[in-house]
Amino acid sequence: MQNFVITGGNRLSGEINLQGSKNSALPIMAGAFLVSGECVLKSCPVLTDVYSASRILNRLGCKCRLSSGEAVIDSSGASSFEIPDELMREMRSSIMFMGAILGRMGECIVSIPGGCELGSRPIDMHLASMQKMGVEISDINGKIHCRIPSGRAHGTKISLSFPSVGTTENIILCAVTAKGETIINNAAREPEICDLCNFLRCCGAEIKGDGESRIVINGVEKLHGCEYTIMPDRIVCATYIAMTAATGGEMIIKNACISETEPFISVIEQTGCGIYLADNRIYVRKGARLRALKDRIRTMPYPGFPTDTQAILMSALITADGTSVFEENIFDCRYRHTDAFVKMGADIQVMGKVAVVRGVPEIHGADIEATDLRGGAAMVIAALSAEGTTHLSNIYHIDRGYEKFEEAVSSLGGKIRRE
């Protein structure tokens, strides 16, 4: 098990080039399974989750070659429809292959996916949606066996009770080669869904309305290969903004996705952190001590404040002037990072879905454990802003989503090493 050793106190300054989005890359890699040809994915981040997706593709009979910033996937040899348990457990996004495998093979065997522990993360909406598209589902020795008797899913109208990102993506993946028209009402509107749809359209899919609550998909017979550039990662972008806000200094984030990061930017600007936007660059500058936020920070589906940036913003507000209040509305257990912050000297009280953060003048290093991907990144930010040295364990969580994290942080002047 590897750890980060981080010594805080340095102001972080410099430039970073934003990596491609993990939450786009994973469903797009699943989408490549639908294509009987070669897909070249540019800006594909090099992450453990991407390696997991690649292992799934290999297991399904596809060739997947990952090199720096590029994934080349050739699914012409697709031969299997089963994902073994150990690969399903590596990440939540393994479930995204369900729609794609059904779309290509008409049958699939999967199991309950793994991923960050953010509370109960059922897949009931995924399964119910597949059933509406003609998929029969049964339990065989604890595995989920999905089968389309006619071999091809059919279009239908699906109204989601909640705009689930993964469910919306799974329906799209199953619907693009289904027979007829599929309509998703109350679809998730996250930018990564538009990125998936843009990729699928490049492969010949007919999709309209992504980015809005009603998505209409007209099934086509076949998809063809393409070259596609994955969008920049808005959550990693928010991480570097918060890092500057927490440590002081100045940062230029290049290849940024400004409008997609806007829900985070508009909140952090209220803390007094200077943000200047130009083309696809974000310039961040922290001057005086941050101010606590007057309004409660409520996590909501896009375009609301993203749940994935809740811990990240909190790490910057631990030492702000005044009290900030968070309300986590997406996951029922997404405050596990707060124990580590408290160990570092933060004043945080959690009551159900609400966390009250009373700003303290400073925090100190401690021995702490990463609890999940974004919570772990938030702990790195806190450690960089703390007095003294922090030993952060379980950093495999962070490696799931941040490319060459310690190299980037070191290049900005942060004292961090892996051991």
Could you list the residues that contact ligand UD1 (CB under 6 A)? 23, 26, 92-93, 121-126, 162, 164-167, 188, 192, 307-308, 330-331
Backbone angles phi, psi at 242, to 5 degrees: -65, -35
Neighbour tally for 362: CB within 10 Å: 13
d(CA 232, CA 234): 6
Least distance to ligand UD1 from the beta carbon of 365, Å?
A: 28
- Residue tagged 């997609």 (tokens): 260
Choice between 165 and 176, CB closer to ligand UD1: 165
Contact 152, 106 (CB under 8 A): yes
Choice between 24 and 271, CB closer to ligand UD1: 24
Which of 116, 194, 237, 257 is flagged as catalytic? 116
d(CA 76, CA 219): 20
Least distance to ligand UD1 from the beta carbon of 326, Å?
A: 15
Retrieve residue 364's tokens.
């100190």
Contact 375, 399 (CB under 8 A): no
Least distance to ligand UD1 from the beta carbon of 361, Å?
A: 32
64 annotated active-site = no
Instruction: Give DSSP secondary structure letters for 306-338.
Output: -GGGHHHHHHHHTTSBSEEEEE--S-TT--TTH
Choice between 168 and 385, CB closer to ligand UD1: 168
Q: What's the distance, Cα to Cα, between the start and end of the chain in Å?
A: 9
Where do the H-state alpha helices sit in 65-190? 85-88, 97-105, 124-132, 165-175
Contact 192, 165 (CB under 8 A): yes
Choice between 112 and 342, CB closer to ligand UD1: 112
Least distance to ligand UD1 from the beta carbon of 330, Å?
A: 5
Amino acid identity of 274? G
d(CA 34, CA 106): 11
Choice between 28 and 273, CB closer to ligand UD1: 28
Least distance to ligand UD1 from the beta carbon of 121, Å?
A: 4
| Active site residue ranges | 116
